[in-house]
Amino acid sequence: MRHRPRLQPRLLAPAALNPWARRVAAGDLSFRIPRGPKDELGALVDSFNRMTEGLEAGREAAARAEREAAWREMAKQVAHEIKNPLTPMRLHAQHLLRAQRDGSGDLPRITEKAAEVVLRQTDALQRIASDFAAFARLPRRNPERLDLAAMAREAGDLFRGGEGVEVVVEAEEGLPAVTADREEMRLVLVNLCGNAMEAMPSGGRLSIRLSARAGGVALEVEDTGVGIPPGDIARLWDPSFSTKTRGTGLGLAIVARAVQDAGGRIEVRSGVGRGSVFTVTLPGG
């Protein structure tokens, strides 16, 4: 049972309730005022205690309902995301089984096609599992001093070689270190760069720029891709929202949580057909 600090019994005047009322207004619902004499003042104290008990119970019920709603929404999203790759796998498995039973002369081609689909969709399932696992592990809270420019160059190397996409990394000299969780910052870079690559199916330019800003570091990831409709920008950080036909939509939610955990902020500028610029600003440390 939660320990509830109690006040030492003393004579209470109505004005003496003011400090306790202020504590309730500030959100402290765990204390109770000791019962006074059995008079009007005592009745007032009883009413006050019943009020705080009711408020505390209501707050706990609301928090429990919020947690349950979050789990229901997450379960719904997991089921939806898993169903997407399972459907083509099932269809091709059924086609393969019919071809085998019918003795189809086209069986080798059908088998090869089914195997290709299964491999692609298992890759999709792996991405889904990785996204949800990364989201669930946030925040990690293992801060260390990081050379963000070096990490950005590593991220750029990961995405070089994409068909028709030029990758450029530019960093000012003498940038301050940032204090953040290394894996979280890796996720920020990989997700922002990965989104940029997906926004350029016909090729383009991915630019990663780092500069000093207000005692910290500004990281810009810019693409020359399809851009984001204005009505979608405000929803980009919602875990259940995605502008992509593939993936969970968790990538930018992971980015937003990781940046917030590091004490930074993230902004986006975009226009349909004009590409996008994601700017992450982190404090130096």
* pLDDT tens profile 14-37: 555 667 677 777 777 776 777 666
Whether residues 132 and 148 share a domain: the answer is no
In a domain, 13, yes or no: no
**Structural domain contains residue 198:** yes
Residue 39 lies in a domain: no
Q: What is the DSSP letter of 14?
A: G
Tell me: do 279 and 147 sit in the same domain.
yes
CA distance 10 to 185: 56
Q: Which residues contact 58 (CB under 8 A, 6 or more apart)?
A: none
pLDDT at 154: 93
| β-bridge pairing 204-213 and 276-283 | unpaired
* Same domain membership, residue 235 and residue 159: yes
> Do 177 and 268 share a structural domain?
yes
Q: Is the pLDDT confidence value at 40 over 80?
A: no
Domain count, the chain: 2
Whole-number pLDDT of residue 8 = 44
Q: What are phi and psi of 125, to 5 degrees?
A: -65, -40
The token duo for 135 is: 């989201």
d(CA 100, CA 90): 15
- Burial (CB count <10 Å: 0-12, 13-18, 19+), residue 280: buried
Query: In which residue are the tokens 């920020």 written?
Result: 188
Distance CA 270, CA 235 (A): 13
pLDDT tens string 89-119: 888 889 899 999 988 889 999 999 889 888 8
Confidence of residue 1 (pLDDT cuts 50, 70, 90): very low
Whether residue 36 lies inside any domain: the answer is no
Q: Which domain holds residue 222?
A: 143-283
- Condensed to tens digits (0 to 9), the pLDDT of residues 212-224 reads 988 899 999 999 9
Query: 7 falls in which pLDDT band (50, 70, 90)?
Result: very low
Contact 184, 140 (CB under 8 A): yes
Tell me, yes or no, whether 181 and 243 share the same domain: yes
What does the buried/exposed string (b/e) look like for 30-61 if buried means 16 or more CB atoms within 10 Å of the residue's CB? eebbeebeeeebeeebeebbeebeeebeeeee
N- to C-terminal Cα separation, the chain? 41
Which pLDDT score, from 0 to 100, does residue 17 have?
60
- Asked if residue 38 is part of any domain, the answer here is no
For the segment 127-147, what is each residue's pLDDT rounded down to a tens digit? 777 767 766 666 667 889 999
Is the pLDDT score of 227 beyond 50? yes
